[in-house]
Amino acid sequence: MRISGNAIDIMGGHEDAIGFNPAQHVLSNADYANSAEQIVEVMRQQHKEGSDFAKIYETGPDRMDMNEKPGGVLHTPYQYTAAELTAAVQEARRLGGFVGVHAMGEPGTLYAAQAGVASIDHGTQLSHKPCAS
């Protein structure tokens, strides 16, 4: 079995407790990292705690815009650039592990592929046309 630590996410990203009353102190379901340096720092801490690989939220918070026709459009904003994900992949390799990403749509899935991640989880909102990088 391979074990990851908490997913890694930007503040205000996919698994952050957005929209809750700040006085309630609702915890995120992820460890925050807002730059390549912070991603590496979080990965090193998770490795120290026993993780074998890193899971990174690359898209989100995902939302459906039902005002767009036909049938609505899912928006999946990316969270990390290809360069930031590349830093994560390089650190994971140095530690003997790998990176998997949660990515639903574009361009986040493209950035993950360009960075060389081991897996893109989900990828359910990909178009049939090439996207601009």
Domain span at 117: 7-125
Let me know if residue 60 belongs to a domain: yes
Let me know if residue 103 belongs to a domain: yes
Percent of the chain with pLDDT over 70: 89
Let me know if residue 94 belongs to a domain: yes
Distance in angstroms (rounded) separating the CA atoms of residues 66 and 64 = 6
Tokens of 20: 């809750």
Q: What is the pTM of this model?
A: 0.86
DSSP assignment letter at 59: B
Let me know if residue 87 belongs to a domain: yes
Looking at the structure of the chain, the number of domains it has is 1
Give the least confident one: 1-5, 35-39, 47-51, 66-70.
Answer: 66-70
42-94 per-position pLDDT tens digit: 999 999 999 999 999 999 888 888 776 677 777 889 999 999 999 999 999 99
CB of 50 within 8 A of CB of 3? yes
Let me know if residue 17 belongs to a domain: yes
* Domain harbouring 41, CATH code: 3.20.20.140
For the chain, what's the residue count?
133
Q: What is the mean pLDDT of residues 12-41?
A: 82
Query: With 80 as the cut, is the pLDDT of residue 10 above it?
Result: yes
Mark 107-119 as b/e (b = at least 16 C-beta within 10 Å).
Answer: bbbbbbebbbbee
Average pLDDT over all residues of the chain = 88
Phi, psi of 82 (to 5 degrees): -60, -40
